Amino acid sequence: MKRTPALDGLDLYRRLDSPSDETVIRDPARVDAVMEQIRSGLETALGSDSIVRGWRAQALFASTVVALDGCVMMTQVDLGEFYVDGDEIKAPDFFLHLRDGKRILVDVKSVDGAPETPEYIQTFGASHVRRLRRFGQLYGAEVYLAFYFSYHPLWLLISLDDLTLGPGGGFRITFADAFVNNKMSILGDRLVGAPAPLELQLLSDPSEPSGVTDGKARLTVSDFKIRAGGREVLEEHPRQVALFLMMHGDWEESQYIATDEARVISVTIEKAPADDDDPTRYPRADLIGALSTMYARLFEVGTSGPDGPTGLELKAEPGMLVSLIPHDYESAELPLVRLEVLPDPEANG
């Protein structure tokens, strides 16, 4: 839904203003005092790498859900004001009404660095978990935690019920247990498998010079070809899918130059699984990554630059990933596997 800047600004003014019986709400001094609070708070937030990372992780989660077409409604709940009678609460970040009718609340956690071992542990205080659970009970929705590991990138979605008691009465979960209990599939996330390798071949224009002199050459591209598992992809939509997978998938990149005695004929960019050193095994299908991971890379490209973040969010086209790879996707030239990974219901038993 489109926001109204005037009303958003008025609401922010209400929250930050210090009412006075002696001045009207339009008093310039009161307005200036609120503007100074906004400037000071904004400078503090932008100067904190951890705050910016956390905010961007929340924005990425929301964009990912929209791109996956994972719900019929989503709203941010942690920025509102609450009155509660009884035990304290903690508001998660988002409420989602999923397409299957399930109602969930999601609290997003940005995790810095790579887990050193599968036993890498995320811990939570007992009060923190209790207040989240209390909010879920009052809201009538199950509470989930969404961990974003930016180093990969990787999303893991778990229920509060997946946490286990730790020493001192708190709660915790290991990276391995979070991975096994990952529920991103309820949002529409899928692992994608494609024929390996994927290749983009840039063909030189024979009418333009492209000779090699002193180790330097110039290539004027006249056309390009896309191949999947050694087979050329000619249909337009599968070509778009192949390029998206090449740009944002997990496979490693290699580049090759084809020449004759006098000129550069083509340049080939190849994406293939990192652990495969036996080209005779092609063609075959390999997992190239999760849709949520590929969208995270797209997000980073769209909101980052050489000097750091250039944006706090990326507006997602609703169902963008589903439009790219529909549920009924079929192509003989680029056959894909869409793998729904479900957690073991007895994993914690």
- 28's tokens: 């310039």
Kindly indicate the confidence band of residue 84, based on its pLDDT and cuts at 50, 70 and 90: confident
Domains of the chain: 5-46 (no CATH), 49-187 (3.40.1350.10), 191-339 (no CATH)
DSSP label at 27? -
Section 248-265 average pLDDT: 88
Give the chain's largest Cα–Cα span: 88
Section 325-342 average pLDDT: 94
3-state secondary structure (DSSP) of residue 120: coil
- 1's tokens: 């839904």
- 203's tokens: 């063909």
Give 120's Cβ-side CA count (13 Å radius).
Answer: 14
| Amino acid of residue 155 | W
Whether residue 64 is predicted with pLDDT greater than 70 in this model: the reply is yes
Q: Which residues are bridge partners to 105 per DSSP? A: 95, 143
pTM for this one? Answer: 0.89
pLDDT (0 to 100) of residue 331: 96
pLDDT in tens, 221-246: 889 999 999 999 999 999 999 999 99
Whether residue 93 is predicted with pLDDT greater than 90 in this model: the reply is yes
